[in-house]
Chain A
Amino acid sequence: QVTLKESGPGLVKPTQTLTLTCTFSGFSLTTTGTRVSWIRQPPGKALEWVARIDWDDDKFYNTPLRTRLTISKDTSKNQVFLTMTNMDPVDTGTYYCAHHGNFRDLRAFDIWGQGTMVTVSS
């Protein structure tokens, strides 16, 4: 059974760096074809894909956010990390990590974590 759970600081100040952790079970990020993404959702607004990391350590970022993001993994601990620099109040929202399903284009998110709320405020 695939599960994912996000964790983070909850509250960060403007200009600070945010680090989120996604701890997962039921799959390995060393298995060919496995991918994990981060997706965020401001309060009352739509979903926005943020970043993706693949089993072979390929990394992909949302273009407008690219300069602020770093995604990484620790396969021995079954964890994926997201770092976002220079946080701003507009970055406030729920951040989800999600497993990519083994479907044709490998881009559908078949299992989601419960999400972690991040508030950016001084």
Chain B
Amino acid sequence: QSVLMQPPSVSGAPGQRVTISCTGGSSNIGAGYDVHWYQQLPGTAPKLLIYTNNNRPSGVPDRFSGSKSGTSASLAITGLQAEDEADYYCQSYDDALSGSVFGGGTKLTVL
């Protein structure tokens, strides 16, 4: 079981908006550590999508946005496209484990 909890799956129709939650605790997100998000397309390595809670690396469309509040964080995707179908992971740091931790991943299906 992952330290950071994500829904196993979400889905949406093209053009819609979806959100993916990432719930942690007092030793990770709640302790103030930054949250980062990754997109993993089938058969490929993960790609950094959002860093430091709400920042997009160069080249990532502004359809992707992140937020953080308390012990949770969220990834929002607007204007859903077929190419967004992938697995999404959140990541932070955990004091108790003294290391980086990932969420269990969320599979996004574009209907």
Contact = CB atoms under 8 A, between A and B. Distances in A.
Interface in B79-95: 89, 91-93
A56 to B, nearest CB: 17
Interface in A46-76: 46-49, 52, 60-63
Contacts of A63: 97-99
**Which 4 A-B pairs rank lowest in CB-CB distance, beginning with the nearest?**
A49-B100, A108-B36, A112-B45, A108-B51
A107 B104 contact: no
Interface of A: 37, 46-49, 52, 60-63, 96, 101, 103-105, 107-115
A109 B100 CA distance: 10
Interface of B: 2, 33-34, 36, 38, 45-48, 51-52, 55, 57, 89, 91-93, 97-105
B100 A107 contact: yes
Chain B interface main SS type:
strand
B73 to A, nearest CB: 13
Contact of A108 (B34, B98, B101): B34
A103 B55 contact: yes
B45 A96 contact: yes
A47 B51 contact: no
B58 to A, nearest CB: 10
Given A103-B51, A108-B51, 12 more contacts: A46-B103, A46-B105, A47-B46, A49-B99, A60-B99, A61-B99, A63-B97, A96-B45, A96-B46, A103-B34, A108-B48, A112-B47
